[in-house]
Chains A and B, each alone.
Chain A
């Protein structure tokens, strides 16, 4: 008798443990739900990626990602608040838990991943570092910059990249490191530097801040690859899971042809199982992360898929007019890729 009770107790115990394992505790998610909004760390002001207009409303590719996350987690894309962070502050602000994640075009690097207690949850923008120069300086490629002085934001990957790149080629440049991107671009515009260096996308955004944007040209050949994406701190695996798969979901939606326009129709009529899983029509994927099953439906409905967001913020529908390039789906010659929703 006793053995049976014991066996029963063990069975019940392990069953409840199995249930508990399915939903690991997520303090961040609990905090977000209790708070009613997501705290998202963004760039101080980079048109196309994260920029607040004069009413304090944020737009941009990085901002859109956080809105998508809010739609998935809280069912409402507007339930997100943005904390502008400088290059210096971004890691401490994330590490100390003042924001739930960073979405501020920060490059994924090994040492950041290994020593700063940070995890990178995928890539929402393949950036390549390049230079903006004056047209009249007659510079065709970065090699022509020998002897130039270059403005850059201190503590960024660009700072080290540029130093390494020119040293490897025995070119002598003077690199001046500013605490904020805006200071660097102002200094470049005032003639302090011959070039300002940042990613292609960032440069396209920063360009509108120049007095006469047409006097300047962005060098097309990048000197490095700087993949960028949302960043979380170590710990809280379930939150990391959500952050990762919301990004994957927006890419998958574009891949599967789900847009904000046809999402209702797709959810109701699509025969494609992956679409049905993505939109919560079957599979119960949301519940596995502790979210409602229609999490991605809300994302697509309210924010759109990756491609829509890209076109609106940095692509042809925006002032930046960036080609998709590497940020095109892999099926169309780009690098964008998502593991399957299975």
Chain B
């Protein structure tokens, strides 16, 4: 092609034009990107071709038909309505639900514990500060797998056998088979109670809006604390108490090997949760400490000069500014909790990795499909968490006018 162009035009013009063409940044950039894209695509096609060839050769079945086969796997801890005779897709969802359950609870608890330890690290009492520091240094430098194994084989296994269970007021029982808790026979009363709680939360939110507007307009304080206590504490407590007393309970009884009836929180769940919380709290504590220390001291002095006591200073001045610094690293920690929940596979917690990438993969042998679906679960949930945290981050970000 070049040769033909050469013959048509006189040489020097061509060379300079060609040089200009090559030196044009846009052209070059375009070229690099196209080359990279083509290279990657070629590599991908090559891998896929090899894989399909290898699979045909090895006689491995492919496709997603297996999802509708009966699973036959008994799962000791389900919060969906999966049973052994359902299909493998239901098994998948049961695993996803268990992953989500342990992740969400671990998120909340590790945030609380992390805040506690983070603030303890800044305590004025030396021993408190030192202990919190030692905890953080200890926890951050040990692989999570050790925590999981420690809680499971060290702590939970040391609980008594069913016959010597620790009884909680005679209705719940703690033993090495887990925590057996009573289950309501019918959920109707609880549904009403939760509706009542939701309504009172909504009322509280409306009240806060009204109070803020009034304060901005008139400068008068509303009885925020008292109304808050009433709506957020008293109403829920009363509603739950009513629902508890009005419902018939299936209280576990010791029969044969273990307690019958009720709902069993399996030790694997407790151990994984404890491991995730104690481990993640060490990291969150450091984030909290860093966040609080990042607030310039002048801010606190200024607030003291304005006459605010230490409590309101922490609540109104320090924490809001610290949160801004803390949100991005906290997002990372939350995503870590999600990913780390897969460590449950090491102790038979039936999460998506254990159930789907373990049991189902073994029964069907369709590695590629199953791994892809499992990875997709984490990516989708992870994206959702990131999206939420980004939204939250944008909301609390410094508004510069």
B-binding residues in A (CB < 8 A): 87-88, 91-92, 95-97, 111-112, 115-117, 137, 145-149, 151, 154-156, 159-160, 162-164, 167, 173-179, 183-184, 186-187, 190-192, 194, 233-235
Give complex CA distance A190, B60 in Å: 39
- Chain B contacts of A117 at CB under 8 A? 58-61, 365
Residue B257 at the chain A interface, CB threshold 8 Å: yes
Given A148-B257, A149-B257, A190-B176, residue A175 in contact with residue B74 (CB < 8 A):
yes
Write out, one digit per residue, whether chain B residues 82-95 have a CB within 8 A of any chain A CB (1) or not (0): 00100000000000
Give complex CA distance A163, B364 in Å: 17
CB within 8 Å of A: which B27-77 residues = 54, 57-61, 72-76
Closest to A148 in B: B257
Given A154-B362, A176-B76, A192-B176, residue A96 in contact with residue B348 (CB < 8 A):
no
Q: Is the CB–CB distance between A179 and B266 below 8 Å?
A: no
Chain A binder among B233-241, B285-293, B314-322, B353-361:
B353-361
CB within 8 Å of A: which B267-323 residues = 267-268
Give complex CA distance A63, B59 in Å: 27
Give complex CA distance A177, B177 in Å: 14
Interface footprint category on B: 35 or more
- Chain A contacts of B84 at CB under 8 A? 163, 167
5 contacts between A and B (CB under 8 A): A88-B362, A97-B58, A117-B58, A154-B348, A160-B73
- Chain B contacts of A148 at CB under 8 A? 256-258
Closest CB in chain B relative to A176 CB, distance in Å: 5
Residue in contact with B258 in the complex, picked from A111, A147, A177, CB distance below 8 Å: A147
Q: Is the CB–CB distance between B58 and A115 below 8 Å?
A: no
Write out, one digit per residue, whether chain B residues 328-348 have a CB within 8 A of any chain A CB (1) or not (0): 000000000000000001111
Given A174-B264, A179-B348, residue A233 in contact with residue B258 (CB < 8 A):
no
- Per DSSP, chain A at the interface is mixed
Residue in contact with A177 in the complex, picked from B58, B255, B354, CB distance below 8 Å: B354
Q: Is the CB–CB distance between A115 and B350 below 8 Å?
A: no
- Chain A contacts of B354 at CB under 8 A? 154, 177, 179
- Chain B contacts of A145 at CB under 8 A? 257
Given A147-B257, A192-B267, A234-B59, residue A95 in contact with residue B365 (CB < 8 A):
yes
Closest to A145 in B: B257
